[in-house]
């Protein structure tokens, strides 16, 4: 198995931002020391939900502090960015990492409409905007010169510099959730990232991805490699014991959920409605904290002692997971506890599966 370290760490208040950013750098470099295969950075704006907000300059700082570990995005909010500027920044970052960059793409948040509003946008056309941005960005890396005239952009690019180290460009990972999106990405032959789907659904979803890959035109070995590298996201906390892990992690989740729910209720426009199909007790603020935490712990969390977590990883491996994204950094858990959890996972859990 491969293991990625993923962060989505809240900063409770502006005066804590700088300390939180440097703690993130320390944790991410520790991930390399412990033998994780990748660091995956999320993106959220305006409320401290992701302490560094913009993962691209943060990744550049991380590139200067690491040598081996791959650095990826899970995901870049494509509909909020200009495609040529994005292609230039990511090409520079691929140079700074010496070819260690992975680019996860998504339309943008489906819950935080205030992030779109802050950029003078709304999410109604986010998927369409993302597709045009992705097309222009990819062509900027592969066509010299090129012209584009679309719904959102009309431009002429003589040549993109610097060119990326990985040719024709760094791997582009697509965020997926529904069975249809798994199959579609398989047909396109692209690597995928997926959120905390229950373990009982994993075989079905990976099977749908494999079905799509079968019609992609890729050779059998490449198809198998793509299924093996499909990245499954889980919250992970390894404590000294099962009881202490549950107590410490639950307290952090309560604060995280309250921060998240308050931001959405107070900042989202009154006319914005989340697709009901995307809601669950964790994401739906109408549910109590107790219901939300219970759902989160049952549906997408690896928690307990190192022995407990190893058994849970083995269950995922049995369901076909070959690439696990471990969100181990939480804003209300505390830097020392996060590092201790990482060390227990890296030293006592990962070696049995690597």
Instruction: Enter the tokens of residue 136.
Output: 């222009």
Cα–Cα distance measured from residue 292 to residue 216, given in angstroms and rounded to the nearest whole number: 39
Cα–Cα distance measured from residue 119 to residue 117, given in angstroms and rounded to the nearest whole number: 5
Domain 2-240+302-352 has CATH 3.20.20.30: yes
Alpha-helical segments (H) within the chain: 17-34, 55-63, 83-96, 113-118, 126-142, 179-188, 199-214, 220-229, 242-267, 289-300, 306-318, 335-344
Domain boundaries, the chain: 2-240+302-352
35 and 58 in contact (C-beta within 8 Å)?
no
The pLDDT of residue 257? 94
The pLDDT of residue 128? 97
Cα separations (Å) of 123 from 81, 116, 273?
Answer: 13, 6, 11
Whether the bond into 168 is cis, omega within 30 of 0:
yes
205's CB contacts (< 8 A; 6+ apart) are: 179, 182, 194, 197
The pLDDT of residue 277? 84
Nearest CA among 26, 41, 27 for reference residue 325: 41
Cα–Cα distance measured from residue 220 to residue 7, given in angstroms and rounded to the nearest whole number: 33
The pLDDT of residue 195? 86
**Per-residue confidence in pLDDT tens, the chain, 354 aa:** 999 999 999 999 999 999 999 999 999 999 999 999 999 999 999 999 999 999 999 999 999 999 999 999 999 999 999 999 999 999 999 999 999 999 999 998 999 999 999 999 999 999 999 999 999 999 999 999 999 999 999 999 999 999 999 999 999 999 998 889 999 999 999 999 998 888 999 999 999 999 999 999 999 999 999 999 999 999 999 999 999 999 999 999 999 999 999 999 999 999 999 989 889 999 999 999 999 999 999 889 999 999 999 999 999 999 999 999 999 998 899 999 999 999 999 999 999 998
Nearest CA among 315, 302, 310 for reference residue 350: 310
Cα–Cα distance measured from residue 66 to residue 30, given in angstroms and rounded to the nearest whole number: 10
The pLDDT of residue 299? 84
């Amino acid at each position: 198995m491969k293991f990625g370290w993923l962060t989505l760490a809240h900063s409770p208040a502006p005066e804590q931002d700088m300390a939180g950013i440097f703690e993130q750098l320390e944790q991410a470099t520790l991930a390399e020391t412990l033998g994780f295969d990748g660091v995956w950075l999320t993106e959220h704006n305006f409320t401290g939900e992701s302490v560094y907000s913009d993962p691209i300059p943060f990744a550049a700082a991380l590139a200067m502090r690491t040598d081996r570990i791959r650095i990826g995005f899970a995901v870049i909010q494509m509909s909020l960015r200009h495609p040529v500027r994005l292609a230039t920044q990511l090409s520079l970052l691929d140079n700074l990492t010496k070819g260690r960059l992975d680019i996860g793409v998504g339309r943008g948040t489906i819950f935080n409409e205030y992030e779109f509003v802050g950029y003078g946008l709304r999410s109604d056309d986010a998927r369409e905007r993302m597709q045009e941005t992705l097309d222009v960005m990819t062509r900027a890396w592969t066509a010299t010169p090129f012209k584009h005239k679309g719904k959102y952009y009309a431009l002429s690019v003589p040549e993109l510099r610097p060119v990326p180290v990985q040719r024709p460009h760094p791997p582009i990972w697509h965020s997926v959730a529904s069975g249809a999106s798994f199959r579609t990405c398989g047909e396109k032959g692209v690597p995928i990232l997926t959120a905390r789907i229950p373990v009982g659904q994993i075989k079905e979803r990976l099977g749908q991805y494999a079905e799509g890959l079968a019609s992609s035109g890729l050779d059998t070995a490449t198809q198998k490699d793509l299924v093996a590298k499909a990245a499954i996201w889980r919250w992970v906390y390894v404590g000294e014991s099962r009881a202490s892990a549950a107590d410490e992690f639950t307290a952090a989740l309560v604060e995280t959920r309250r921060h998240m729910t308050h931001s959405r209720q107070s900042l989202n426009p009154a006319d914005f409605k989340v697709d009901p199909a995307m809601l669950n007790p964790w994401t739906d603020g109408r549910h109590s904290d107790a219901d939300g935490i219970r759902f989160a712990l049952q549906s997408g969390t690896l928690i307990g002692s190192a022995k407990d977590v190893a058994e849970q990883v083995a269950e995922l491996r049995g369901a076909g997971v070959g690439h696990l994204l471990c969100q181990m950094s939480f804003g209300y858990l505390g830097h020392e506890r996060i590092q201790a959890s990482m060390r227990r996972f890296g030293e006592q859990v990962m070696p049995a599966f690597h």
